[in-house]
Amino acid sequence: QVQLVESGGGLVQAGGSLRLSCAASGRTFSTYAGWFRQAPGKEREFVAAIYWTGGATYYADSVKGRFTISSDNAKNTAYLQMNSLKPEDTAVYYCAARTKSDIATLRRAALYDYWGQGTQVTVSS
């Protein structure tokens, strides 16, 4: 089993920055870490993903160039640095982990095995 705990959400003005953290325990069998978000009345959407031990990163077009995903293997923690935040980035952000290694399906929330409880990010205009 993998347990994920997010932190770092909050309220920020447009143009500001936040850094989300995802602390994982028992991740021995997970391969990729991902961040998803869900705004009220909308489906959960892919934000970014990274292989736990580092390497290639993947981003949604809507955050490319503004958000950076990273991981610290020694700390079993994944991060999402969010810069130039916009009001449309407002959502609950979820950390997720998966055991499957098929990168073609990294954007599919249903194929992630473990989820955190979510952290609220609110961007005011």
Which residue type sits at 70?
S
Average pLDDT over residues 5-12: 96
Q: What is the pLDDT of residues 62-114, one digit of tens each?
A: 999 999 999 998 888 999 999 999 999 999 999 999 988 888 999 999 999 99
Contact 22, 78 (CB under 8 A): yes
Average pLDDT over residues 29-35: 87
Residue 39 has pLDDT above 70, yes or no: yes
Between CA 67 and CA 85 the distance in angstroms is 9
Between CA 28 and CA 114 the distance in angstroms is 13
Residue 117 has pLDDT above 70, yes or no: yes
Which of residues 1 and 115 earns the better pLDDT score?
115
pLDDT for the residue numbered 28: 65
